[in-house]
């Protein structure tokens, strides 16, 4: 895999969302010159400050300034036509669990992120020019954050290796290039650009054994509450109803006292109060009786089920059996996964050539060169959200495609070769 990214910036272009709902009277204003806004925060946590000397921080800050300037000098922002780009630049905290993958950030270069929002000028129905600020077309730039070089997560929960590293999809290599760098595409169509001079990949394959063991750990974690509940003795189904009925005389007494006091000044109101309270008590009693009946039915049905059908371990045993059937070579081979094939009785592992097969990867723990100064930038990932239908053939560019064209323009005209020179 190292040969795939040899001294390269891996480019993965990310599909985004169009701004919909523009009326015929609301149009973009592509010839209006906007302004570039930068909001930069150089705050570092105490842990980060302790790991960097003042000289190292100054050197890293200078590199970040060079990166921001290189982005600002791209054709899209010099000048920004029809848009107002807003960049928010911040250090990423070592407390972020995904930065060092839940491991101590030992001699980890500082991480930095830049979020660029594209605000677009619109000609409104009243003839005034306004700004559309709530759009989902944007750019994310991450420095020294390996997790951000990976693809999407196949699961809602973050399935991890024992050391905390996430398991994600491997981006697909395409035939496209940007600035001489290969383009990668996520299985979902999203796109990302990754730049590095390191002669090794920022990710490594996840093995079949690693995936199955990770799924077993996650299912055991999810099953733990059920397992604990099954070990305890549940309260009887009659508990709530009996508790409610034990206070029957108290409720009657209180209701009568309020009724008598109210009757002296508002006889009609007192009658309404008594009627409402009688209905409330009757409704609550009926609800508790129905709940008790459901509880008794469910427990009777559960008692008739085979132990293996209700065991918290029922979704784990098939995975253990699947792992036991693997040969040592199969266990060590790369994991290819099909989300639609995963279920209570299966891990989702498939053959590499199977339909919908996706290679799974995790961050490479040996990617960073720990001998380099902490002030060095070793990897940059760039997410670019735009509609993939916008491309080189823009002669008939529709009005509503302007927002996507600006992002495509940023991707294809930025001097990525120059940005690579900032890396070590």
Max CA separation in the chain (angstroms):
92
* Cα–Cα separations (whole angstroms), residue 282 to 240, 245, 289, 294, 316: 15, 11, 11, 19, 46
- Sequence ranges of the domains in the chain: 2-206+360-420, 232-310
**Tokens standing for residue 335:** 């994991």
The neighbouring-strand residues paired with 252 are none
**Tokens for 329?**
């070579």
pLDDT tens by residue, 321-360: 999 999 999 999 999 999 999 988 899 999 999 999 999 9
- Over residues 41-85, the pLDDT tens digits come to 877 765 666 577 888 888 999 999 999 999 999 999 999 988 899
Do 384 and 407 touch, CB atoms closer than 8 A?
yes
Give the helix ranges, DSSP H, for 150-246: 208-231, 239-246
Q: From CA 249, how far away is CA 227, in angstroms rounded?
A: 40
Show the beta-strand stretches assigned E in 124-258: 129-132, 138-143, 168-169, 172-178, 181-185, 191-196, 203-205
Q: Residue 130 carries which DSSP code?
A: E
Q: How confident is the model at residue 395 (pLDDT cuts 50, 70, 90)?
A: very low
Buried b (16+ CB within 10 A) or exposed e, 388-407: eebeeeeeeeeebbbbbbbb
> Rounded to 10 degrees, what is the CA torsion of 319, 324, 325, 331?
90
Q: Considering only CA atoms, give the Rg of the chain.
A: 30
Q: Indicate the pairing of strand 129-132 with strand 203-205.
A: unpaired
Which residues fall within 8 angstroms of residue 134, CB to CB, at 6 or more apart?
none
- Nearest CA to 19 out of 405, 317, 419 is that of 405
Structure confidence at residue 388 (pLDDT): 55
pLDDT value at 19 more than 70: no
Nearest C-alpha neighbor of 373 from the set 18, 33, 58, 38: 58
Res 258: pLDDT: 92
Q: How confident is the model at residue 1 (pLDDT cuts 50, 70, 90)?
A: very low
Q: Which of 158 and 298 is assigned the larger pLDDT?
A: 298
397 pLDDT above the threshold of 70: no
Instruction: Give the pTM.
Output: 0.72
Spatial distance between the Cα atoms of 106 and 99, rounded to a whole number of angstroms:
12
Q: How many residues does the chain have?
A: 424
Work out the mean pLDDT of the chain and round it to a whole number.
81
Q: What is the DSSP-derived secondary structure letter of residue 219?
A: H
3-state secondary structure of 169: strand
């Amino acid at each position: 895999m190292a040969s795939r990214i040899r001294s390269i910036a891996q480019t993965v272009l990310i599909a985004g969302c169009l701004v919909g709902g523009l009326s015929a009277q609301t149009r973009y204003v592509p010839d209006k010159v906007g302004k570039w806004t930068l909001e930069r925060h150089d705050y570092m946590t105490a842990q980060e400050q302790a790991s960097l000397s003042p000289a190292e921080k100054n050197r890293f800050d200078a590199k970040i300034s060079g990166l921001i300037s290189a982005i600002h000098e791209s054709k899209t922002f010099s000048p920004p036509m029809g848009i107002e780009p807003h960049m928010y630049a911040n250090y990423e905290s070592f407390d972020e669990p995904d930065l060092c993958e839940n491991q101590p950030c030992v001699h980890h270069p500082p991480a930095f992120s830049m979020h660029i929002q594209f605000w677009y000028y619109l000609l409104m129905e009243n003839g005034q020019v306004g700004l559309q600020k709530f759009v989902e077309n944007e750019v994310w730039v991450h420095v020294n954050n390996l997790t951000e070089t990976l693809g999407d997560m196949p699961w809602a929960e973050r399935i991890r290796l024992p050391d905390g590293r996430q398991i994600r999809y491997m981006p697909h290599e395409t035939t496209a290039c940007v600035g001489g760098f290969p383009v990668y595409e996520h299985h979902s169509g999203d796109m990302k650009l990754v730049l590095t001079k390191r002669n090794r990949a920022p990710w490594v394959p996840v093995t079949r054994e690693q995936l199955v063991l990770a799924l077993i750990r996650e299912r055991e974690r999810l099953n733990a509450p059920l397992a604990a509940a099954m070990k305890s003795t549940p309260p009887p189904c009659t508990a709530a109803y009996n508790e409610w009925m034990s206070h029957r005389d108290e409720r009657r007494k209180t209701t009568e006292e309020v009724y008598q006091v109210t009757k002296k000044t508002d006889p009609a109101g007192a009658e309404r109060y008594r009627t409402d309270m009688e209905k409330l008590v009757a409704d609550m009693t009926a609800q508790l009786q129905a709940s008790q009946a459901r509880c008794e039915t469910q427990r009777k049905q559960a008692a008739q089920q085979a132990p293996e059908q209700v065991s918290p371990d029922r979704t784990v045993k098939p995975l253990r059996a699947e792992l036991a059937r693997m040969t040592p070579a199969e266990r060590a081979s790369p994991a290819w996964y099909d989300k639609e094939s995963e279920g209570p009785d299966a891990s989702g592992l498939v053959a590499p050539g199977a339909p919908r097969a996706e290679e799974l990867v995790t961050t490479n723990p040996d990617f960073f060169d720990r001998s380099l100064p902490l002030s060095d930038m070793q990897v940059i990932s760039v997410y670019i959200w735009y509609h993939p239908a916008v491309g080189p053939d823009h002669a008939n560019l529709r009005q509503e495609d302007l927002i996507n064209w600006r992002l495509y323009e940023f991707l294809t005209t930025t001097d990525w070769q120059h940005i690579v020179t900032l890396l070590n």
